[in-house]
Structure formats: structure tokens, C-alpha cells
Amino acid sequence: MDADADTTDDLSRGLAAYVHAVATALDVPVEGTTCEVSDTATAYLALATRLASYPEHDLMLVWSEQHGWEAAVETEPGVVTEVIAYFGDEPLPEPEQVLAFVRAIVEGRDWGGSRPAFSTVDNRHELAARSSRYITGRNSYS
């Protein structure tokens, strides 16, 4: 197995465990989460909360290795989601920080994060190493 395949496998396991930790902090059931590592690494958390400014639309968190966490609303089926806020310059913030991000958005406070652009080539090895700390015997979901 080559090093890239090892990194993809490590990132898949680590990302699954990290997403589970974030979902636990946000009280999102496992059925409301997805994550995938292929050409790009992504994750999704469906939130039970709606925003006062979008009362008819579901709120969600989306994570990508290129931009980290962003909050968005699902507008219409088949239509691109509308991004409400970006976490900012930390690609793997602590689950409690993601919770604070969501609370700020729900409460209508300005989070102040901008859309970062992380290098996926340089970042994938670091993401695998950093997310691996969330892997334990009871929450390894690979």
C-alpha cells in the first residue's frame, strides 16, 4: 500500500471519529451525519435548529478539507445551499468551538469568520494526524 492510500485510510478513520465528536457536542444523532474521504474530504451534520431569518429551511453544518466548517441553510431540493457563516482559519476546531460557532449563528451574533482556503495537498497528512486523536476503541466508525 502506498503512502497516499495510508493517508486516505487514516484520514477516513480520523474524520469519522472527529465528526462523531462534533456531533456529540451538538447533540446530533449519528443518523444526521455523513463524512467521506475520496478526491476531497467532506462531512455533513443536519441540525435540528432553524434560524429566525430562515424559518422554513433546515440548518446544517458542512465541512470540507478546503474550507473547514461552514453553516448553511437548505433552500430548495436540488438548489445550491446558502452559506450563512464560515468558522474561519482552523480546519479542525475543537468540538466545543464548533458548538460555540453554532450557538452564535442561532443567536444571530456575528461569528466573524471568513472563507478560508486550505491546501489539500499539504493539509491531508496534517488532517489525518490531527483527527487521529479522536479515534478510540468506542468511537472509531470506519
Question: Which 3 state secondary structure label does DSSP give 6?
Answer: helix
Confidence at 24, pLDDT banded by 50, 70, 90: very high
Looking at the domain assignment, is residue 91 inside a domain? yes
The SS3 assignment for 87 reads: coil
Which residue type, as a one-letter code, is found at position 93?
P
Domain that holds residue 9: 2-134
Model confidence pLDDT, tens digit, residues 54-69: 888 889 999 999 899 9
CA 34 vs. chain centroid, Å, equals 9
**Residue 139 belongs to some domain of the structure:** no
Whether 140 is in a domain gets the answer: no
Number of domains forming the structure of the chain: 1
User: Pick from 66, 72, 64, 42: which is nearest to 117 by CA?
Assistant: 66
pTM of the predicted protein model = 0.87
Quick check: is 142 in a domain? no
Residue 85 domain-assigned (yes or no): yes
Question: pLDDT digit string (tens) for 68-126?
Answer: 999 999 877 777 788 999 999 899 999 999 999 999 999 999 888 888 887 655 688 89
Does 126 map to a domain? yes
| One-letter amino acid of 125 | H
More confident of the two residues 34 and 54: 34
For helices 120-131 and 3-25, the axis angle rounded to 10 degrees is: 60
